[in-house]
Amino acid sequence: MNPFSLAVSRVIARVADCALGPYQTAVIRIGFSLTWLLFLLREFPHRHELYGPDGPWNWDLADQMVGTNGAFTVLLWSDGRGWFEAVYALAALSSVLLLLGWRTRTMSVLFMVGVLALQNRSIFMGDGGDNVLHLMSVYLVFTRCGQVWSLDARRARRVAEARARGRRPRDRVGPALWGALGFLLVAATLAGRMDGDRLIPVLLWTVWTAQALWWLAGRRARPGQPRILLDVVANIVHNGALLVIMAEACLIYATAGWYKVQGSRWQDGTAVYYPLQLEYFSPWPALADLLSASGTLVLLVTYGTVAVQVAFPFTLFNRRVKNVLLALMIIEHAGIAVVLGLPFFSLAMIAADAVFLPTSFLRRLGERAARARGRLRPRGGGTAAAGPPHPDRRADGAGGARDDGMEAVEAAPAPGGGPTPRT
């Protein structure tokens, strides 16, 4: 075998063998679900004006717009207040459960449905971060984002421990969720609610069917081979989605930087000055005046913003330079949240940036959080929190490797003896 073929085979084996970046995808899951949850809570008193029946963009206008662009939103299935409240509550609840990592496969789908339902209902509401959240909610469905820092990972460890003791753990929640959501999906399809753009309905049906195949592979077919094949497919899909998320983040920064280069105010170094003078973007007027009073500071921030955004995609192959620019971008977004009053835009961008965080840093962060949680527990209250087990280091290049405990969850036998659907 020549060197090129050998290298290609190694890449294929690496991509198919495990789900890369478990810590990065966990941070993305936590970051975007937290961003969406905080937004829903902040806008809860104004939800009817923003997305509901009392808004200027009423139900008829939204229905006409969706009829034109074919966007998917369950809010237009009914114009009743009760339906709106139920969808808003579902969006908040799925955010909480995805944040905690409970049944991440199912919750990622419901999270996507909640995001699309509200954002496609009133497309003029948002500050730029909503576009990032919109895309990432779809990408998360394809990832195995519950490998670490999740209730799924804890359940996987308990299942593995039970099986090591010779027990046969049973999971009734997974099949119940699969059956209930399947019933709703069939009812919505037969009622004609899935008309329009086929992307999201096809995605929903694909995920639901894949869950059934996963269960049947362990229950009906010969043990081992079908499950290994499905696991390989899931790893490839996960790694492909992770690559798309990274490319999306690079594309956002590259296009933003190159468009800024073409602006005259960015060229003369005064672009940052003008938003600081707008009342809408000045929650702290005294701070804005202090920053804009120094022409040198405005010049440095303006040119620095352009330089970092344009250069970042080209630094991914140099870890040290990439980490420096990544820290600068996170600081920049934190500054935007405070100075310009755009917290949810900044949180969404920081969550997207997290895909490039070093695995070693995230591991240390998780270990410290576990130790802090253990110190907060009362003495004698049970076993000490040891934190999540380190994923297998066989594929710790692009960001980490598979948490093998997750496979124990997905292979836990159902009441009938076969494994439960992945949720």
For residue range 152-205, list pLDDT tens digits in order: 999 989 988 888 888 877 888 888 999 999 999 999 999 888 877 788 999 999
Please report which residue ranges of 59-103 form alpha helices under DSSP H.
59-69, 81-100
Q: Residue 73 gets which letter from DSSP?
A: -
Comparing C-alpha atoms, which of 36, 62, 65, 35 is closest to residue 51? 62
At residue 378, the pLDDT reads 65
Residue 412 near residue 159, CB atoms below 8 Å: yes
Which residue did the predictor score with more confidence, 296 or 379? Answer: 296
Comparing C-alpha atoms, which of 112, 179, 184 is closest to residue 420? 179
Helix axis angle for 225-261 and 295-311, nearest 10°, is: 140
Place of tokens 């997905």: 410
**Sign of the alpha-carbon torsion through 121, 349, 339, 128:** negative
In 10 A of CB 405, how many CB atoms?
22
From CA 226, how far away is CA 218, in angstroms rounded? 7
Residue 341 near residue 281, CB atoms below 8 Å: yes
Per-residue model confidence as pLDDT tens digits over 265-310:
999 999 999 999 888 888 888 998 898 899 999 999 999 999 999 9
Q: What are phi and psi of 2, to 5 degrees?
A: -75, 165
At residue 397, the pLDDT reads 37
- Distance from CA of residue 284 to its chain's centroid? 31
Average pLDDT over residues 106-113: 96
Cβ neighbours of residue 26 closer than 8 Å, sequence gap 6 or more: 101, 145, 146, 147, 148, 149, 150
Average pLDDT over residues 217-222: 60
Per-residue pLDDT at 364 exceeds 60 = yes
Which residue did the predictor score with more confidence, 245 or 422? Answer: 245
At residue 95, the pLDDT reads 97
Average pLDDT over residues 2-14: 72
Residue 395: which pLDDT band, with cuts at 50, 70 and 90?
very low
Residue 126 backbone class (left: φ over 0; alpha: ψ -120 to 50; beta: rest): left
- What percent of the chain shows pLDDT beyond 90? 51
Average pLDDT, the chain: 84
At residue 170, the pLDDT reads 80
Q: What are phi and psi of 419, to 5 degrees?
A: -70, 150
C-alpha triplet 79, 85, 88: angle, nearest 5°: 110
Q: Which helix (H) or strand (E) holds 405?
A: helix 405-410
What pTM value is reported for the model? 0.86
DSSP conformation letters of 220-266: TS-SSHHHHHHHHHHHHHHHHHHHHHHHHHHHHHHHHHHHHHT-HHH
At residue 417, the pLDDT reads 36
At residue 219, the pLDDT reads 64
Residue 385: which pLDDT band, with cuts at 50, 70 and 90?
very low
Which residue did the predictor score with more confidence, 236 or 377? Answer: 236
Residue 316: which pLDDT band, with cuts at 50, 70 and 90?
confident
